[in-house]
């Protein structure tokens, strides 16, 4: 299996600050981690490789510092890593990000053969849209399944376990395919000191806008149709009220009295 995993480096903080002028996230000063769901996606990819043999490549679009995230991926089972980085890509929204990533997937496929399977996280914990994975699949014209927690390879198709509101489904999908991965039942493995040292020695190739046939009108801020008008952190007006009663009937009665008194509705 020729497998590709898309990795986003995200700020390791719950206190996201927004630039009031550009309405984009302020990333400076916050420590960075591999997006949580991408770590699950990578672990799943490495397990598939170990079971059926093959190769796992990771890519990330981001600044130079995203190399750290890619090196961490190499230390936990990825075989190859590429950073996609160029000033022209700065300010890209999800549509531009997925366009750029899909164009570089084409570039890597020309060199290393088609990817049977592309994995993304179900969403990034900073941007949080969950759009990039499905958009890459659309750009590449391959099937996609979202919210995956496990998979098995059958003859010419994949069986993927997909979370739903009531439990899960096993879905057949032809390969090549893209899946987005949610929290799995297993935890991502830890790097060892040895694997970390080996990964640190690796050179991460950087691909720039010169390396792909890009339409620059679809890249960066100019190529981003999303217009963020305003972002703000909602101010909490009041604390909630906890009504603790022995049974739900008396709790509901108390709630109605409280709601009438405070004219909450």
SS3 170: strand
Interface residue list for ligand FAD (CB under 6 A) = 6-8, 24, 35, 37-38, 60-62, 90-94, 97, 101, 120-121, 123-124, 126-133, 221, 224, 226, 228
141: which 2 tokens? Answer: 């014209």
SS3 164: strand
DSSP 72-102: HHHHTT-SEEEEE--GGGTT--HHHHHHHHH
Are 110 and 2 in contact by the 8 Å Cβ rule? The answer is no
Between 175 and 207, CB nearer to ligand FAD: 207
Q: Report the distance separating Cα 92 and Cα 223, nearest Å.
A: 7
Query: Which helix (H) or strand (E) covers residue 57, if one does?
Result: strand 55-61
Between 50 and 128, CB nearer to ligand FAD: 128
Closest CB to ligand FAD: residue number: 127
Q: Report the distance separating Cα 201 and Cα 216, nearest Å.
A: 34
Q: How far is the CB of 43 from ligand FAD (least distance, A)?
A: 13
Q: How far is the CB of 101 from ligand FAD (least distance, A)?
A: 6
Between 198 and 221, CB nearer to ligand FAD: 221
Between 127 and 188, CB nearer to ligand FAD: 127
Q: How far is the CB of 27 from ligand FAD (least distance, A)?
A: 7
Q: Report the distance separating Cα 253 and Cα 243, nearest Å.
A: 10
Q: How far is the CB of 207 from ligand FAD (least distance, A)?
A: 12
End-to-end CA distance of the chain: 57
Between 135 and 150, CB nearer to ligand FAD: 135
Between 167 and 225, CB nearer to ligand FAD: 225
Q: How many CB atoms lie within 10 A of CB 129?
A: 13
Q: What is the DSSP letter of 187?
A: P
Q: How far is the CB of 245 from ligand FAD (least distance, A)?
A: 41
Q: How far is the CB of 13 from ligand FAD (least distance, A)?
A: 15
């Amino acid at each position: 299996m020729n497998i590709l995993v898309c990795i986003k480096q995200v700020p390791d903080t719950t206190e996201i600050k927004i630039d009031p002028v550009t309405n984009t996230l302020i990333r400076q000063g916050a420590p960075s981690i591999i997006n949580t769901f991408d770590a699950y996606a990578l672990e799943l990819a490495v397990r598939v490789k170990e079971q059926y043999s093959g190769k796992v490549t990771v890519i990330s679009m981001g600044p130079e510092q995203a190399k750290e995230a890619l090196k961490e991926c190499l230390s936990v089972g990825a075989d190859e890593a590429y950073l996609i980085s160029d000033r022209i890509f700065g300010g890209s929204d999800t549509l531009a990000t997925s366009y750029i990533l899909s164009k570089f997937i084409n570039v890597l496929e020309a060199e290393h053969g088609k990817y049977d399977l592309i994995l993304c996280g179900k969403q990034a914990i900073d941007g949080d849209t969950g759009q990039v994975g499905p958009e890459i699949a659309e750009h590449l014209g391959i099937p996609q399944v979202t919210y995956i927690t496990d998979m098995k390879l059958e003859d010419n198709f994949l069986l993927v376990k997909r979370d739903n509101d009531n439990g899960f489904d096993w879905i057949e999908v032809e390969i090549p395919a893209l899946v987005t991965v949610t929290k799995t039942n297993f935890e991502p493995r830890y790097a060892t000191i040895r694997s970390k040292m080996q990964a640190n020695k690796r050179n991460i190739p950087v691909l720039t806008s010169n390396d792909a046939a890009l339409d620059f009108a679809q890249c960066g801020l100019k190529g981003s149709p999303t217009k963020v008008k305003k972002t703000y952190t909602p101010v909490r007006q009041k604390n909630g009220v906890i009504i603790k009663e022995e049974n739900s009937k008396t709790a509901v009665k108390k709630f109605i009295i409280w709601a009438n008194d405070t004219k909450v509705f």
